[in-house]
Amino acid sequence: MRRNDVLDLLIGKGNYVDDIPYKGYFGVFVRSPYPHARILKIDAEEVVRKGGLVFTAKDLYFNKGEKEENEGTALLTLPLAFKKVRYEGEPIALVIAEDPYKAQDLAELVSIDYEVLQPVSSVEEALKNEVLVFEELKTNVVYEKTLEYGTIPFGDKELDLDLYWSRSSGNPIETFGAIVYPDGTVYSNAQAPKFLAEEISKISGRKVKLIPVRAGGSFGSKFSLAPYISVLVQASAKFNVPIKWIETRSEHLKASNSSGPERTFKIKVYYKENGLITGLDFTVFEDIGASLYNGQAFKPSGILAGPYKIRNIRYTAKLIATNKNPPGAFRGAGTPPHTWALERIMDTLAEELGISKSEIRKKNFIDNFPYEAPYTLYDSGDPNRLLSLALERTDLWNLREKGYGIGLACSTDPSTPSGTEGVKIEVRNGKVVVKVGYSPEGQGNEHTAVKLVSQFLGIPEELVTVETIDSDSSPPSFGPGGSRMAVFMAGAIKGAVEELVKVISQRIRREYGEEVEFSNGYFIAKNGDKFHISKFEGTEVTYTFNHQGKYRFTAYPFACDIAVVKVDRETGLIKPVKLVVYIDPGTPIDEELVKEQVIGGSAIGVSLALYEAYKYGKQGELLTTSLIDYGLPSALDLPEFEINIVPTPSPYTPLGAKGVGEIPVGVAAAAITSAVEDLTGKKIRSVPIDKEILYTG
């Protein structure tokens, strides 16, 4: 497709954090080599003697954040370890010097005495409470909540299922980065800079102005820059020097605080002999590492029964502290494992009853919209149609006869959480300039902004441009996150364009005494005079789109995936061959951009099913300290993707759009899992799937 926002990237002019001209000091974090230990002494005298600056937890101001049941990790623990380290790679001190290599050398001179403690490296160990991550709590279950709707039908038939979804993360191609000045000005690739500036200002006690810088990907990970920036801001102010910090890849893997959920499910399914599911009882144990809270276990509250009309549900989430890198928010922020679990339920129950995977889904699908479940309102959709289209693909289903495995999965996802998004639009130098308050991350939001302004104003795209503005100048903005931008960008730009036309019309009336109508870039007076919008230099408007639904989430995309896998003759391992997606994104603003997003999300889902995982040793040490160890796939490891758009417009959003950035992940993982089961005949209860599944019992 023709993207209007990537030319600079293709010619090497992306201008990332590390590209910004800079003169000043450089920071290196001193990190714990142990997953669990007491800090007995920190000796940095040699560093100071050799001209380095050292900042530790004793120098910190920290105003603890608030616990909210939104995805992500609340800022409840110190950003630098004090008296105790709780995961390998936890930052203990910041060493600052005039040269990055000198800073690295000096950091190695910081001497720390430890009393090594027994680590808690799994949920099973944590639940014994023999070793506590946070002694003051007297338990490793740091938070627990139950959601209950309807009544569990105890007289019906029952099915028990234990499942496990492994720890993984976004691993963007560009790691964290920030340039911080003593006055609180910060250049960073942080996600949601307006929001994070406010959060960092609260916890650090210093006014922070965040200037968005293009990000080389995020997938939710760069929300987790907040604790690092809070340290850098305070150190910069204390020593009155600018500080630049660029995270290394090994630091990101060990201590970015940005992983997705690691979730153990214990599920009881209640059903009738005819396949109708009458109740679901989930207990999930969420490994949240060395943190006191993470909200990814609660985002599934928006899709507890997925695309199925199941009304009796109990969902208990227990957040378990361990000595691992704390999680953050990774694409979907908790819903992909839930979608995967729901589809495991469907496949398992179909086998139990001796019916097809498609029949069990048809019996339980939501079939009338809008549909008000006990926990949310599904706006629009037609999952039966998506499934029917998938079942018509005899070219794929017939591949079974040639030794391929074929898998099926269906899903929905809670997009468009209630909130606001603001933009500014200014006429400047003959162009219409859209000003946004977030860092470009690669999803195409700037492309969408240009396209929408062009369409709404009836002017060529060449006359529209997008620029970022700092957190002080920006209207309320969260930016990408939660599959929200299709709706919020459309709403904000539509409102801003209408406001711009209104303001210029009023100006013409005042200055020329003419009533005008607006069409295709021109204000046209009754006498035939025409005024092009580009002539109204300096006109600027601000508009904030506010969207509040009856429930937290407003728009629900739907999808049905078919996965094809085979045994690779050269390696003897499972090879994904093709993934076909039928998706309902509401009214697509740009079909090709939708397909890009769905391919990207589906690729992550395939990877999580087959390749990616953080692995820890028995002593809590991280074993996956490189991308090769972690299992990040190459393009050759991924299947061919085919995306088919089957829209049902949302009645509750501007333009009828829905968000699609996150739905592809869980359904792709589920379809791949289903296909591997079909190929091997073996029951799969965890991901990533064991590479040796063909050769194990």
CATH number at residue 671: 3.30.365.10
Distance CA 287, CA 549 (A): 31
| C-alpha separations of 370 from 115, 373, 648 in Å | 59, 10, 11
Identify the pLDDT of residue 70.
65
Instruction: Please indicate, yes or no, if residue 160 is contained in any of the structural domains.
Output: no
Please answer whether residues 246 and 18 qualify as being in contact, where contact means their C-beta atoms are separated by less than 8 angstroms: yes
Domain co-membership, 540 together with 573: no
Instruction: Please indicate, yes or no, if residue 14 is contained in any of the structural domains.
Output: no
Instruction: Please indicate, yes or no, if residue 168 is contained in any of the structural domains.
Output: no
Secondary structure letter of residue 325 according to DSSP: P
Distance CA 496, CA 519 (A): 16
Distance CA 25, CA 432 (A): 38
Burial tier of 693 (Cβ tally within 10 Å: 0-12, 13-18, 19+): middle
Question: Please, what's the largest Cα pairwise distance for the chain?
Answer: 86
Please answer whether residues 274 and 49 qualify as being in contact, where contact means their C-beta atoms are separated by less than 8 angstroms: no
Enclosing H/E stretch for 630: helix 627-630
Please answer whether residues 613 and 630 qualify as being in contact, where contact means their C-beta atoms are separated by less than 8 angstroms: yes
Nearest residue to 612 (alpha-carbon basis) of 177, 270, 250, 171: 171
Which residues of the chain register pLDDT less than 70? Answer: 1, 68-74, 697
Distance CA 357, CA 359 (A): 6
Identify the three-state secondary structure at position 84.
Answer: strand
Identify the three-state secondary structure at position 646.
Answer: coil
Beta strands in 449-557 (DSSP E): 464-468, 516-519, 522-525, 530-532, 540-547, 553-555
Domain co-membership, 360 together with 440: no
CA atoms within 13 A on the CB side of 589: 32
Secondary structure letter of residue 650 according to DSSP: -
Q: In what order do the strands lie in the sheet with 141-149?
A: 141-149, 313-320, 277-287, 263-271, 157-165, 686-687
Distance CA 559, CA 309 (A): 16
Contacts of 99 (CB under 8 A, 6+ apart): 26
Pairing type for strands 540-547 and 157-165 reads unpaired
Q: For 477, list phi and psi in degrees, rounded to 5.
A: -150, 140
Instruction: Please indicate, yes or no, if residue 143 is contained in any of the structural domains.
Output: no
Number of domains comprising the chain: 3
Distance CA 239, CA 290 (A): 30
Domain co-membership, 457 together with 471: yes
Identify the pLDDT of residue 482.
86
Identify the pLDDT of residue 275.
97
Please answer whether residues 676 and 689 qualify as being in contact, where contact means their C-beta atoms are separated by less than 8 angstroms: yes
Partners of residue 160 on adjacent β-strands: 268
Distance CA 632, CA 640 (A): 17
Identify the pLDDT of residue 75.
83
Q: For 254, list phi and psi in degrees, rounded to 5.
A: -85, -35
Domain co-membership, 689 together with 594: yes
Distance CA 296, CA 556 (A): 18
Domain co-membership, 238 together with 273: no
Domain co-membership, 571 together with 663: yes
Distance CA 297, CA 458 (A): 45
How many contiguous H segments (helices) and E segments (strands) does the chain have?
16, 31
Identify the pLDDT of residue 69.
59
Token digits for 354?
């001796």
- Residue ending a domain, among 500, 521, 547, is 547
Q: Which amino acid is at 693?
A: I
Identify the pLDDT of residue 68.
67
Please answer whether residues 256 and 228 qualify as being in contact, where contact means their C-beta atoms are separated by less than 8 angstroms: no
Q: For 173, list phi and psi in degrees, rounded to 5.
A: -60, -30
Distance CA 174, CA 16 (A): 9
Token digits for 385?
């149609």
Instruction: Please indicate, yes or no, if residue 137 is contained in any of the structural domains.
Output: no
Enclosing H/E stretch for 1: none
Distance CA 643, CA 561 (A): 9
Distance CA 646, CA 316 (A): 35
Domain co-membership, 566 together with 635: yes
**Residue in the structure block whose two tokens are 């759009």:** 657
Nearest residue to 587 (alpha-carbon basis) of 644, 650, 660: 650
- Tell me the per-residue pLDDT of 90-136, one tens digit each, with 9 for 90 and over: 999 999 999 999 999 999 999 999 999 999 999 999 999 999 999 99
Instruction: Please indicate, yes or no, if residue 319 is contained in any of the structural domains.
Output: yes
Identify the three-state secondary structure at position 517.
Answer: strand
Domain co-membership, 360 together with 432: no
- Residue ending a domain, among 246, 272, 301, is 246
Instruction: Please indicate, yes or no, if residue 371 is contained in any of the structural domains.
Output: no
Identify the three-state secondary structure at position 680.
Answer: helix
Domain co-membership, 473 together with 539: yes
Distance CA 186, CA 378 (A): 40
Q: Using only the alpha carbons of the chain, give its radius of gyration.
A: 26
Please answer whether residues 486 and 443 qualify as being in contact, where contact means their C-beta atoms are separated by less than 8 angstroms: no
Identify the pLDDT of residue 2.
78
Domain co-membership, 224 together with 334: no
Domain range for residue 640?
263-365+379-416+552-695
Instruction: Please indicate, yes or no, if residue 159 is contained in any of the structural domains.
Output: no
Domain co-membership, 558 together with 582: yes
Query: For the whole prediction, is pTM greater than 0.85?
Result: yes
Nearest residue to 135 (alpha-carbon basis) of 64, 202, 84, 98: 84
Q: In what order do the strands lie in the sheet with 540-547?
A: 464-468, 431-436, 419-428, 540-547
Handedness of CA 8, 645, 597, 476 (dihedral sign): positive
Q: Which amino acid is at 653?
A: T
DSSP 207-267: --EEEE---S--TTGGGGGHHHHHHHHHHHHHHT--EEEE--HHHHHHH-S-B---EEEEE
Identify the pLDDT of residue 651.
96
CATH number of the CATH domain containing 58: 3.90.1170.50
Identify the pLDDT of residue 418.
92
Identify the pLDDT of residue 513.
85
Identify the pLDDT of residue 4.
78
Distance CA 107, CA 95 (A): 6
Distance CA 510, CA 528 (A): 18
- Residue ending a domain, among 198, 218, 246, is 246
Domain co-membership, 426 together with 309: no
Please answer whether residues 319 and 142 qualify as being in contact, where contact means their C-beta atoms are separated by less than 8 angstroms: yes
